[in-house]
Amino acid sequence: MKRFVDLWVNKIVNSYNMKHTCQAALITCEDFRLHQRKDGRNYVAEFINKLGIDCDLITRAGGVQDIVRPKNTGFLGSLLRDIEVSVKLHKVNTIFLLNHEDCGAYQDINFNSRQEELKQHKKDLRYTKKFY
Ligand SMILES: [Zn+2]
Q: What is the pLDDT of residues 12-47, one digit of tens each?
A: 556 666 678 999 999 999 999 999 889 999 999 999
Ligand 1 midpoint to CA 28 (Å): 8
pTM, full prediction = 0.84
Ligand 1 midpoint to CA 85 (Å): 23
Ligand 1 midpoint to CA 114 (Å): 15
Among candidate residues 20, 26, 24, 18, the one with its CA nearest the CA of residue 89: 20
Q: Where are the domains of the chain?
A: 19-131
Among candidate residues 66, 70, 69, 61, the one with its CA nearest the CA of residue 83: 66
**Residues 2, 70 contacting (CB under 8 angstroms):** no
**Once rounded to an integer, what is the mean pLDDT over residues 94-104?**
95
| Dihedral pair phi/psi, residue 44, rounded to 5° | -70, -45
- pLDDT at residue 92 above 60? yes
Q: How far apart are CA 50 and CA 31, in angstroms?
A: 20
Please give the pLDDT value at position 2.
Answer: 59
Please give the pLDDT value at position 75.
Answer: 92
Q: β-strands 94-98, 24-29: how paired?
A: parallel
Q: What rounded mean pLDDT belongs to the chain?
A: 88
Ligand 1 midpoint to CA 60 (Å): 8
Give me the residues near ligand 1 (ion), CB cutoff below 5 Å.
Answer: 29, 31, 103
Ligand 1 midpoint to CA 52 (Å): 24
**Residues 34, 28 contacting (CB under 8 angstroms):** yes
Min mean pLDDT across 32-36, 69-73, 87-91 is at 69-73
